[in-house]
Amino acid sequence: MKFPKTYTLKDIASLINCNFIGPENYPVLGMNEIHVVEPGDIVFVDHPKYYDKALKSAASIILINKEVDCPDGKALLISSDPFRDFNKLTNFFKPFKASNTAISNSAIIGLGTIIQPNCFIGNNVIIGKNCIIHANVVINDDAVIGDNVIIQSGTVLGGNAFYYKNRPEGFDQLLSGGRVVIENNVHIGVSCTIDKGVTGDTTIGEGSKLDNQIQIGHDTIIGKKCLIASQTGIAGCCIIEDEVTLWGQVGTNSGITIGKKAVIMGQTGVTKSVAGGKSYFGTPIEESRNKLKEFALLRRLPSILEELKKN
């Protein structure tokens, strides 16, 4: 998430009422999670296990719960609760805006696009040319949709990320201020849910086709010309490269990568990253030819045991 203007380190520290290390006029351009940070961004970290990763990341400003040595050329925001203060910043720069119309006045809808009845189009949504948005679709704030996109009924774009911190009093949600980006010539089936990024984009690449009842988590990137079948669930922060096929009821762990032109057979649990150009099956995931060989050997097991008894 980039800020509408450049802020200073002192400005940001004042917003969240914390101390800082670095020049008070140090420029702050935005805020992002660790996997999408760029120079000028704030990243938060609240566990010693991840201090080093955050301090060595591309982020220029680290929102951290311990005073540590500040890396050269960077700045620190010292907070007793970085998770809480990251939420404060999200709420300041991307506050929830209630709507009183079905289609926001700030939405931009391209020539030839059809919006069927009972749709909700949120603030600052951009929809390209010659799209068909079927009845009862929800497109929440800031989504960007390309040309020739078809979205079937009941689909929701831009729900909040499923991202919580476990506190003694209950679960605390990390607020989402990112977007959903749907590129040209994408088809999305009935009753799909695509969550927006926490601070970045959840992206569906050009020419990809999604069946009904698919869940895609926050900040996931789906490549170009992918096919995803019904009841597939893709966790947050995944990368699905171009021309991948996911058959029905596939599920993934968060943060995995599926390589270009991989085929994931139905009901597979993608527990780790896998290379492209191969077919996979099972839980835990394996190359399908290896898994099928195992099944063939298992079917032969009774006869093998009988042979061993005879000998």
**Is the domain of 136 the same as that of 249?**
yes
Cα angle for residues 207, 211, 215 (degrees, 5° grid): 100
Residues 90, 9: Cα–Cα separation, whole Å: 16
The sign one gets for the Cα dihedral 62, 12, 35, 282 is: positive
The predicted structure's pLDDT at residue 226 = 98
DSSP 103: B
Contact 190, 152 (CB under 8 A): yes
The amino acid present at 260, given as its one-letter code, is: K
**Is the domain of 216 the same as that of 163?**
yes
Instruction: List, in sequence order, the alpha helices (H) in the chain.
Output: 9-16, 51-55, 82-93, 288-310
Mean pLDDT of the 224-235 span: 98
**Is the domain of 265 the same as that of 146?**
yes
Half-sphere exposure of 244 (CA within 13 A, CB side): 24
279-281/286-287 β-pairing: antiparallel
**Listed residue (74, 149, 144, 139) closest to 104, CA to CA:** 139
**Is the domain of 82 the same as that of 127?**
no
**Is the domain of 154 the same as that of 20?**
no
**Is the domain of 128 the same as that of 163?**
yes
Bridge partners of 77, per DSSP, are: 20, 63
- Residue-wise pLDDT for 161-195, tens only, equals 999 999 999 999 999 999 999 999 999 999 999 99
The predicted structure's pLDDT at residue 271 = 95
| pTM for the predicted model, two decimal places | 0.92
Q: Is residue 305 part of a domain?
A: no
Q: Where in the sequence numbering do the catalytic residues fall?
A: 218
**Is the domain of 72 the same as that of 215?**
no
Domain boundary among 93, 125, 150: 93
Mean pLDDT of the 263-281 span: 97
Residue 306 has pLDDT above 80, yes or no: no
- Over the chain, what is the mean pLDDT? 95
The predicted structure's pLDDT at residue 311 = 67
- Residue-wise pLDDT for 100-152, tens only, equals 999 999 999 999 999 999 999 999 999 999 999 999 999 999 999 999 999 99
Q: Provide the residue range defining the domain that includes 87.
A: 2-93
Q: Is residue 299 part of a domain?
A: no
Q: What is the dihedral of CA 286, 273, 192, 147, to 10 degrees?
A: -120
Given pLDDT bands bounded at 50, 70 and 90, which one contains residue 297? confident
**Helix/strand/coil percentages in the chain, nearest 5:** 15, 30, 50
The predicted structure's pLDDT at residue 64 = 98
**Is the domain of 59 the same as that of 135?**
no
- Contacts for 31 with CB less than 8 Å, ≥ 6 apart: 1, 3, 41, 42, 43, 86, 89, 90, 93, 199
Bridge partners of 164, per DSSP, are: 173
Q: Is residue 102 part of a domain?
A: no
**Can you give the length of the chain in residues?**
311
The enclosing domain of 11 has a CATH number of 3.40.1390.10
Mean pLDDT of the 64-79 span: 96
**Is the domain of 124 the same as that of 168?**
yes
- Measured CA to CA in angstroms, residue 180 lies from 30, 115, 204, 217, 219 at distances of 18, 18, 8, 10, 8
Q: How many domains does the chain have?
A: 2
Residue 301 has pLDDT above 90, yes or no: no
